[in-house]
Every structure is written in structure tokens, then in C-alpha cells.
């Protein structure tokens, strides 16, 4: 049997490895507490589930959807962007539905990357940016994210020959895995770079609604000139505890949206319409409910940061995202520290190298454990002696 070379070229997906480690421990009867995967433990809001139930009884929703999404869903996305970011979108030309943001991110390279092209990819970062590039036949140029540069790519350090061959650049703020946020001037510099080098700027904004201490993350589309070169990917997964329902959207430049729609219409059959009705209900949830949810994550953040600092790790309070990014103690590698922690406490964290080589020296912890599990994990960390 001949398997395409691109399959063998794909590195192991880090979350698969995490699941395997947990399964091996559980097979031995060991209770493993995992900080590994950012899948909200909080339930989908009742009003959203009610919308699904009602929509599931509507016969037209039993048939194939359209790839671009229901007009009502796209209109709701435009309304939400106006309310949340004061950004005006044309729902007909500047919004497309996604089967979760991961699907859209994976397909995006197909629209703009050909063999010989380069994608500018943050490292550490979400693995799908590079894998989508690989599947499209392109090459990823890794842009290091480093603490000294506030976890933002140093665009001036990208060689000119690389910039000239690049067709897309990925940004992701609030950031996975570092939890970093971006300022308006940083976004403006990326927009200028994209315009100068004729690069499509793709912004993964899936964590914009998880924020703390009164901070509100920006949309890249709020920055002047973004609409000329940018598409922004968003998801209802983290914003409204809907990871299992697979619903997201891409918004921005009409030509970019249309190219993505062409790829999608030939590769998938769109989001089930009943689930789009869930999304419409979700985006109508009062801001107060989102604030209440974020207070839960903020309390968890305090517990995790405190426990890690007590162990001697270097860690700052993230302003946004579901993740705490911590520097491991001197003398440890990311993998070595993570493995020792798992073996001696049965607590699993993600080594920073799961997200790229520039993640060395760090670990990532997700805040999506139940309060009970989180407190149990903190107790284990507090009693651990390195």
C-alpha cells in the first residue's frame, strides 16, 4: 500500500501524545490529572442547547447546508463583531462559516500556498499552521516567539529572500501557548509588513473572549489597513463552551474570504444548520454571563500561578487565553521536567516543545480542569519536592 509522503512528514500531533500518556497511566489504575488540552470543562449554556433542540425539529435543517453558512448566521457574526469590536462587516462577502476554526485554518493554506511558497509561522504555535502549509506543498519559515520581544515575531529579522517568497503569515493573539496578547502598534507593524511583501495576514483570534482583570483583547480588524490584507479566524468553541459542536467563522477581506469559500465548497458540506442556530443564540448571550465565566478561569489562574511559583518556576499572570506559560527550573528541559512531574505526581503538563523548538524551557498548563480536579492537582504540586 502506497501512502502519500505528506502523511509520513506530519509530526505527531502533541495532543495525541498527551492522550496516550494519560491512557497508559490509567491502564495501571493511576488517577492522572491533566493540564494538557484546552477543552473547556464548563457546559454549553442552556439557551444555546435550547436553540439546538428547537432547530433540530425544523425539517429544512435535516438537509445539506451551504458551505458559506446560513445568511442568518453570517448576519449574527457581523452583528457580534460590531457589538464587540465596533468593526463593520458585510455578511454576504466578508463572513464565512467554519466547521470549527481548526478546519478553516487547515484549509486556508490550500487557497494561498503552492509548492515553493513560504508560510510565516509563529514558533511556538498551534501545529495546524505548519501542517496546513505542508499539505498545500509549501514550506514553513518559523518566526521565533521570545519573551524579550513580548512573544511577538521580530518581523525585521525575517530575511528578505524569505519575505519575498512568503504568501501568508500567521498570527495568534491572545496566544496559544504563551498566553501573550498583542498591542495595536504590533498589529500595525504586521499589516505594514504584509502590505509591503504582498502577504496574506491570517489572524487566529479564537481566545479573544477569555480575558482577565478587565482587559479586552483587540481584533486585528480594528487596526487601520487590516481589511486590505487580513482575514481573522474565530471560534465559538472557547468563547461559549462549544468545542464539541464545531462552529467558527472567518471574516475580513472579501477576496480572501471568497478564496477560502471556494476551497471549502469543494472539500466539505458546511456546518449543520441546527448548529449554526446554536451559534446565533450564543452570540446573543449577555456580556455579564461571559464575565462570570471568565471569573471562574481567573480564580483558576491564580491557583495555578501560585502553585508554580512555589515550585520555583518563572511565570507571569496571563492577561488572556486559557493557558499559563511557565519557565522550567534551571537544569531541566521542557520534556524532562514534564516527564518527572508526571512520574512523581501523576500531574500532566505540556512541554513547550510540543508547540515548536522555540518552546524549549517552558511548559503549558490549561485552565480547563474542574475546580475539584484543579485543587487536587495544586495539592499534589504543593507537596512535591524536586
CATH number of the domain bearing residue 163: 3.40.640.10
74 with 199, same domain: the answer is yes
51 with 197, same domain: the answer is yes
Query: What interhelical angle do 101-112 and 128-135 show, nearest 10?
Result: 40
Q: What pLDDT was estimated at residue 294? A: 98
The secondary structure of residue 61, as a DSSP letter, is G
How buried is 15 (Cβ within 10 angstroms: 0-12 exposed, 13-18 middle, 19+ buried)?
middle
Contact 212, 203 (CB under 8 A): no
268 with 343, same domain: the answer is no
102 with 135, same domain: the answer is yes
Alpha-carbon span 358 to 352, nearest angstrom: 8
92 with 180, same domain: the answer is yes
Of 282, 304, 325, the residue that ends a domain is 282
162 with 304, same domain: the answer is no
Of 223, 254, 282, the residue that ends a domain is 282
Q: What pLDDT was estimated at residue 23? A: 84
b/e sequence 309-319, b meaning 16+ C-beta within 10 Å: eebebebeebb
Q: What pLDDT was estimated at residue 15? A: 63
260 with 292, same domain: the answer is no
Rounded (10°) CA dihedral 251, 149, 325, 172:
10
Q: What pLDDT was estimated at residue 30? A: 87
130 with 220, same domain: the answer is yes
305 with 234, same domain: the answer is no
| Owning domain of residue 378 | 5-43+287-382
Query: What's the CATH code of the domain at 297?
Result: 3.90.1150.10
**From first to last of its 386 residues, what are the pLDDT tens digits of the chain?**
988 888 888 887 666 666 777 788 888 888 999 998 889 999 999 999 999 999 999 999 999 998 899 999 999 999 999 999 999 999 999 999 999 999 999 999 999 999 999 999 999 999 999 999 999 999 999 999 999 999 999 999 999 999 999 999 999 999 999 999 999 999 999 999 999 999 999 999 999 999 999 999 999 999 999 999 999 999 999 999 999 999 999 999 999 999 999 999 999 999 999 999 999 999 999 999 999 999 999 999 999 999 999 999 999 999 999 999 999 999 999 999 999 999 999 999 999 999 999 999 999 999 999 999 999 999 999 989 77
259 with 158, same domain: the answer is yes
Q: What pLDDT was estimated at residue 13? A: 67
326 with 297, same domain: the answer is yes
Q: What pLDDT was estimated at residue 21? A: 75
Alpha-carbon span 265 to 65, nearest angstrom: 11
How many domains is the chain built from? Answer: 2
Of 248, 282, 316, the residue that ends a domain is 282
**Which residue in this structure is represented by grid cell 444555546?**
48
Alpha-carbon span 33 to 22, nearest angstrom: 8
- Ordered strands of the 314-315 beta sheet: 314-315, 323-327, 362-366, 350-351
320 with 209, same domain: the answer is no
- Tell how strand 200-204 and strand 166-172 pair up: parallel
Query: What is the CA angle 152-189-322, rounded to 5?
Result: 35
Q: Helix, strand, or coil here: 204? A: strand
Alpha-carbon span 279 to 242, nearest angstrom: 9
Alpha-carbon span 182 to 151, nearest angstrom: 9
Amino acid at each position: 500500500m502506497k501512502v502519500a509522503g505528506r502523511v509520513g512528514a506530519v509530526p505527531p500531533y502533541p495532543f495525541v501524545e498527551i492522550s496516550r500518556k494519560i491512557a497508559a497511566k490509567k491502564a495501571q489504575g493511576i488517577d492522572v490529572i491533566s493540564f494538557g488540552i484546552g477543552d473547556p470543562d464548563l457546559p454549553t449554556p442552556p439557551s444555546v442547547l435550547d436553540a439546538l433542540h428547537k432547530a433540530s425539529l425544523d425539517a429544512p435543517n435535516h438537509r445539506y447546508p451551504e458551505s458559506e453558512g446560513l445568511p442568518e448566521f453570517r448576519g449574527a457574526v457581523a452583528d457580534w463583531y460590531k457589538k464587540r469590536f465596533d468593526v463593520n462587516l458585510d455578511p454576504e462577502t466578508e463572513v464565512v462559516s467554519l466547521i470549527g476554526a481548526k478546519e478553516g485554518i487547515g484549509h486556508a493554506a490550500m487557497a494561498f500556498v503552492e509548492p515553493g511558497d513560504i508560510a510565516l509561522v509563529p514558533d511556538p504555535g498551534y501545529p495546524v499552521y505548519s501542517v496546513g502549509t505542508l499539505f498545500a506543498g509549501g514550506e514553513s519559515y518559523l518566526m521565533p516567539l521570545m519573551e524579550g520581544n513580548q512573544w511577538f515575531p521580530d518581523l525585521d529579522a525575517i530575511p528578505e529572500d524569505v519575505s519575498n517568497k512568503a504568501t501568508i503569515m500567521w498570527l495568534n493573539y491572545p496566544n496559544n501557548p504563551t498566553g501573550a496578547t498583542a498591542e495595536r502598534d504590533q498589529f500595525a507593524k504586521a499589516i505594514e509588513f504584509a502590505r509591503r511583501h504582498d502577504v496574506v495576514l491570517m489572524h487566529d483570534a479564537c481566545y479573544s473572549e477569555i480575558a482577565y482583570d478587565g482587559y479586552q483583547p483587540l481584533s486585528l480588524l480594528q487596526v487601520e489597513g487590516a481589511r486590505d490584507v487580513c482575514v481573522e479566524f474565530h471560534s465559538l468553541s472557547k468563547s461559549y463552551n462549544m468545542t464539541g459542536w464545531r462552529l467558527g467563522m472567518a471574516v475580513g477581506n472579501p477576496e480572501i474570504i471568497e478564496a477560502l469559500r471556494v476551497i471549502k465548497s469543494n472539500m466539505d458540506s458546511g456546518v449543520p444548520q441546527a448548529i449554526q442556530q446554536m451559534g446565533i443564540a450564543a452570540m446573543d448571550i449577555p456580556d455579564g454571563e461571559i464575565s462570570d465565566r471568565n471569573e471562574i478561569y481567573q480564580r483558576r489562574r491564580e491557583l495555578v500561578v501560585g502553585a508554580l511559583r512555589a515550585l520555583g518556576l518563572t511565570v507571569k499572570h496571563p492577561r488572556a487565553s486559557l493557558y499559563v506559560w511557565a519557565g522550567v527550573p534551571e537544569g531541566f528541559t521542557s520534556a524532562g521536567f514534564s516527564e518527572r512531574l508526571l512520574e512523581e505526581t501523576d500531574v500532566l503538563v505540556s512541554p513547550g516543545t510540543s508547540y515548536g523548538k522555540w518552546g524549549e524551557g517552558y511548559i503549558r498548563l490549561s485552565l480547563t480542569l474542574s475546580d475539584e480536579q484543579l485543587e487536587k492537582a495544586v495539592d499534589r504540586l504543593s507537596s512535591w519536592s524536586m
